[in-house]
Amino acid sequence: MREFVIAILFLLLILLVLWQTLNKTRDEEAILDKLKAIFGDLF
């Protein structure tokens, strides 16, 4: 089950990177904060 959750988070990370590339914005820190919040809730 945990592997399934990690796979979903990995796909979300890829989508975030693609979204950033398309928008040509540089909010890596904001995305890292969001990911930390997500991982913090799960683990």
pLDDT beyond 80 at 6: yes
CB 27 within 8 A of CB 20: yes
The overall average pLDDT reported for the chain is 80
State the pLDDT confidence band at 11, using cuts at 50, 70 and 90: very high
What integer is the mean pLDDT of 5-17?
A: 91
Six token digits for residue 10: 């990995």
Q: Residue holding tokens 């909010």? A: 27
- State both tokens at 33: 């904060």
Separation CA 26–CA 43 (nearest Å): 27
Give pLDDT, residue 4.
Answer: 93
pLDDT band for 26, please (50, 70, 90 cuts). Answer: low
Q: How far apart are the first and last CA of the chain?
A: 13
Mean pLDDT of 27-36: 76
- Judge contact between 35 and 13, C-beta under 8 A: yes
